[in-house]
Amino acid sequence: MASSTPRSWDPASGLDGVDRALVVIAHPDDAEFGAAGTIAGWTAAGVDVRYLVMTDGASGSQDPDMNRKLLAANRHLEQTAACKLLGVTDLEWGGYLDGWLEPSLEARRIVAAAIRRHRPQIVLTLDPEMRITPRGSINHPDHRAVGDLVMHCINPAASTRLWDPTLLEEGLEPWDIRELWLMGFGAGPDRVDVTETFETKIAALRCHVSQLGERDPEPWLREMAARAGAEVAVDLAETFRILRW
């Protein structure tokens, strides 16, 4: 397990024998905010990266003229554009309403099926233990729920053969991952150098127009990445808690 002392990783660090990664997130834009620099480094190194987005993102607007159906459609298009820019090869949706995600057995089966189907060596998701973000805000409960879902699936739902025999009937054999990467949004002991991929991260994030409006995310994300990087003597870094088996 990761220590509490900050550690630095090159974007391609530890990727020997890794050719598949699955990113499991709650909302469109979660991965771009928290991990797009790392993901861009992985795809540049030849890793096949795929996304599973568990909710439709349809709650993310204060515009009185917006409705859930239109916003969900917009956010699907935005996430698709961001994935294309990052080199992500596949995008799936869990089908849950934004703000309504819980680590239920039904949702657990969706995540377990995706892990068994894509057979990644690395799964990247949100840290379920983060209740207060490094900026002092309350972490979205969907973020905590998706992290719990992934951890439930690593043991036992994706890895235990008879957890749900109907998965076997669908041809989905059990699968053990090699690494779990928990996004920290500025917190976590593990740092990935994203100096070379930071501009790609920002470009991917800017695909999410419905969430950014007129705001420019680069200044505060660059400041956050610079603070994380300074702890391990790199210019810009993203933060994780990395568990390796």
What CATH code is carried by the domain that includes residue 239? 3.40.50.10320
Domain count for the chain, please give it: 1
pLDDT of residue 213: 87
Q: Does 159 reside within a domain?
A: yes
Q: Does 132 reside within a domain?
A: yes
Q: Does 120 reside within a domain?
A: yes
pLDDT of residue 2: 40
Rounded distance, CA 183 to CA 58, Å? Answer: 22
Q: Does 129 reside within a domain?
A: yes
Q: Does 122 reside within a domain?
A: yes
Block mean pLDDT (10 aa), the chain, length 245: 59 77 98 97 96 96 92 97 98 97 97 98 96 87 97 97 97 97 90 96 97 92 96 95 92
pLDDT of residue 133: 85
Q: Does 2 reside within a domain?
A: no
pLDDT of residue 3: 46
Q: Does 177 reside within a domain?
A: yes
Prior bond of 103 cis (ω within 30°) = no
| Domain span including residue 75 | 7-244
Burial zone of 95 (CB within 10 Å; 0-12 exposed, 13-18 middle, 19+ buried) = exposed
Q: Does 1 reside within a domain?
A: no
